[in-house]
Amino acid sequence: MTGKVYLVGAGPGAPDLLTLRAARLLETADVVLHDALVHPDTLALAKRAHLVDVGKRYGKVSTEQRFIHRALVAAAQSHAVVVRLKGGDPMLFGRAQEEIEALARAGIECEVVPGVTAALAAAATLRVSLTRRGIARTVAFLTPRVGRDENASAWIPAALGCDTVVLYMAAGASQSISASLIEAGKRADTPAVLVESATLADEARLFTTLGELAAASLPRAQGPVVMAIGDVFREASAIEALARQEPRRHAL
Amino acid sequence: MTGKVYLVGAGPGAPDLLTLRAARLLETADVVLHDALVHPDTLALAKRAHLVDVGKRYGKVSTEQRFIHRALVAAAQSHAVVVRLKGGDPMLFGRAQEEIEALARAGIECEVVPGVTAALAAAATLRVSLTRRGIARTVAFLTPRVGRDENASAWIPAALGCDTVVLYMAAGASQSISASLIEAGKRADTPAVLVESATLADEARLFTTLGELAAASLPRAQGPVVMAIGDVFREASAIEALARQEPRRHAL
């Protein structure tokens, strides 16, 4: 018997931002190979399944990719329903193509179930649309994280060409990202927002600008960080600044 | 009593690609104002609710936006749970900011529930990751549709700056989009894929190139169309071409 592998998006963090299809697949799964940061309540849906933590933390490779391929193939060779559960959506920064190809080479059927990606969860929690009439009609999703064989500044034209830019896996890199963008011609007063652990109880956010981010390094983040840049954030940023001043005003 | 409005993503089409949170909100909603193309099975979840079709077809404005604002405010002034259900994700090409601001002006609380966006549903159904090591690290989401006050070619730098490009609301515009991109310097053999009604029973897809699309206009689409461009689609395109030749080979 050869089973089928489902590459499933676990969504941005909160367990109820999983899709109905993903929830049903987890309920029927025999084996679930999951990223490290998937919520325990999401994993708890997989009542029947053998759970395997393959240790990926939103793009950081902790488990050797080849090990994941071998484990997926082995699981499908002895189980009917195998779920490969990935943070966010599988088709954005998830190395899904490598897993799809490894399964194809082994003659194993594969299906992809999309999920809510972190950028859209961050937009929802900030209540700022990534597009907006007259302000932003183009959005880039990218990661500045660089592999050995890749050009370190290849992402910059994308970031300059789009009205709104969302950077994935930006934790620890906000200072160098901001400095690079200002050097490439972005205004230092361009609004920037960092959202850590979007949609989870310990969610944190920082409304700032490229100039401020370039000037100082931030404390180390505890969870995954999405960094968003663009004029769509200007008003939310101003409201946030006002809210910070409120208590002081009342004290006068 | 003033209620709360939830701007909720209905996902790309298939009713089981709704999130668990969205499903629960629909179940408890008193009023649901929904886009025209939301699946009937999704609407059926809103058992208690008064349903109002506000007639938007994935970005085409059929109902005057101001009417939607007034209807949202009126609904929240007399009901506890009001859902504004939008195709895909609310924060991409959904004019959500205008609705959020109208609610804020009326003093009505508002929360956004993200959804699976059409680009990621198309990637899933094509089994092609939008990013890929060594091939694509940047993705643009954009729409070539132009408002009166906007520059008709403002989207081109975004499309040129990113490795993978997904165009929303591309139905009927693929020929002019492709011609514009080739004129701006994109290679005519750049792989392009059109996906119509992604994740639904009548889903259709066309693997082609910018050059082919620029050369001929396509028949009118029946459902919403996503157009995706980039080298990540080259292999899937080749496999598709091979599959098309298979029957002929067998006939020889």
What lies within 8 Å, CB to CB, of A201 at 6+ separation is: none
The ipTM of this complex is: 0.93
Residue, of A6 and B145, whose pLDDT is higher: A6
Rg (C-alpha) for chain A, rounded Å, is 20
Element (H, E) at B94: none
Residue from B89, B169, B186, B227 carrying the catalytic annotation: B169
Instruction: Say whether A118-242 and A4-113 share the same fold.
Output: no
Torsion angle, alpha carbons of B179, B182, B186, B192, to 10:
40
Q: Does the structure show a pLDDT above 90 at B40? A: yes
Which of these ranges, A57-66, A162-171, B17-26, B66-75, has the smallest mean pLDDT? A57-66
Adjacency order of strands within the sheet including A31-34: A50-53, A31-34, A81-86, A4-9, A109-113
Q: What are the strands, taking DSSP E only, across chain A?
A: 4-9, 31-34, 50-53, 81-86, 109-113, 138-142, 164-167, 191-196, 204-209, 225-229
The reported pLDDT for the residue numbered A88 is: 96
The pLDDT of A69-76, averaged and rounded, is: 96
The reported pLDDT for the residue numbered A230 is: 97
Q: What is the pLDDT of residues B176-205, one digit of tens each?
A: 999 999 999 999 999 999 999 999 999 999
Element (H, E) at B32: strand B31-34
- For residue B68, give the nearest of B43, B98, B47 by alpha carbon: B98
Burial zone of B40 (CB within 10 Å; 0-12 exposed, 13-18 middle, 19+ buried): exposed
Residue ranges of the domains in chain B? 4-113, 118-242
B141·A143 Cβ contact <8 A? no
User: Distance (Å) from the C-alpha of residue B141 to the closest C-alpha of chain A?
Assistant: 5
Which of B27, B113, B138, B231 to probe by mutation at the A interface, max A CB count within 10 Å? B138
Q: Does the structure show a pLDDT above 90 at A218? A: no
Instruction: Calculate the CA A108 to chain-centre distance.
Output: 27
Using CB atoms, which residue from B9, B18, B158 is nearest to A161? B158
| The CATH homologous superfamily of the domain defined by B118-242 | Tetrapyrrole methylase, C-terminal domain (3.30.950.10)
The pLDDT of B231-240, averaged and rounded, is: 90
Q: Does the structure show a pLDDT above 90 at B83? A: yes
The reported pLDDT for the residue numbered B251 is: 45
- The CA distance from A57 to A63, in Å, is 10
Sort out which chain B residues have CB atoms less than 8 A from A97's CB and list them: 128-129, 132, 232
Adjacency order of strands within the sheet including B109-113: B50-53, B31-34, B81-86, B4-9, B109-113
Domain A4-113: give its CATH code.
3.40.1010.10
Q: Does the structure show a pLDDT above 80 at A116? A: yes
The pLDDT of B223-227, averaged and rounded, is: 93
Q: Does the structure show a pLDDT above 60 at B128? A: yes
